[in-house]
């Protein structure tokens, strides 16, 4: 039996969890720092169950607009959403913020499920892991620049 593929990256950021949370949950501001993701028509309030529409543009065959349903929104500790192609492959994407050495340990993880999860993720695992690490570095740069 195949297990669900998981992509996880960890980035240490020299900023408090509260500061990281503020940038991470400023969905309208993603275009200022995230290399591939921007949100469209961000609602005034985000709670579990909120649907966020995002545009992915990383130059791949999966570019396009997607809906993400917020699963967890626990300030300033955990944000999680689910998105993908229902019935084919979906990702449960989570962001954990833990106090660490006077800053924040930022852990981004995505668990993929669905009949096409393994064949979608495994051939692209290295690229997906690098993309995830790039996002962590971009968030770190956004928070640490100008300090």
Nearest to residue 78, comparing CAs of 8, 30, 25?
25
| pLDDT surpasses 90 at 2 | no
Q: What is the mean pLDDT of residues 22-46?
A: 93
Does 95 or 124 have the greater pLDDT score? 95
At residue 138 the predicted structure's pLDDT band, cuts being 50, 70 and 90, is very high
Residues 58/44, Cβ–Cβ less than 8 Å: no
pTM of the full predicted structure? 0.91
Domain assignment present for residue 1? The answer is no
Residue 115 within any structural domain of the chain: yes
Enclosing domain of residue 56: 6-144
Closest CA to 140 of 28, 24, 29: 24
Q: CA distances (Å), 25 to each of 45, 55, 60, 115, in order? A: 11, 16, 25, 31
Sign of CA dihedral 28, 34, 39, 44: negative
Q: Kindly report the CATH number assigned to the domain that includes residue 83.
A: 3.30.530.20
How many domains does the chain divide into?
Answer: 1
* Distance, CA of 97 to CA of 101 (rounded, Å): 13
> Average per-residue pLDDT in the chain?
93
Kindly state whether residue 134 falls inside one of the protein's structural domains: yes
Residue 81 lies in a domain: yes
pLDDT in tens, 74-118: 999 999 999 988 899 999 999 999 999 999 999 999 999 999 999
């Amino acid at each position: 039996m195949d297990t669900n593929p998981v992509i996880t990256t960890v980035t240490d950021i020299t900023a408090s969890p509260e500061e990281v949370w503020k940038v991470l949950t400023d969905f309208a501001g993603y275009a200022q720092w995230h290399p591939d993701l921007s949100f469209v028509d961000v609602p005034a309030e985000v709670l579990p169950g909120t649907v966020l529409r995002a545009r992915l543009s990383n130059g791949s065959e999966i570019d396009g607009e997607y809906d993400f349903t917020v699963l967890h929104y626990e300030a300033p500790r955990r944000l999680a959403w689910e998105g993908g192609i229902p019935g084919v492959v979906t990702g449960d994407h989570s962001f954990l913020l833990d106090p660490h050495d006077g800053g924040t340990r930022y852990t981004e993880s995505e668990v993929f499920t669905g009949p096409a999860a393994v064949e979608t993720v495994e051939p692209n695992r290295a690229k997906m892991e690098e993309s995830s690490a790039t996002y962590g570095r971009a968030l770190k740069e956004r928070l640490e620049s100008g300090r």
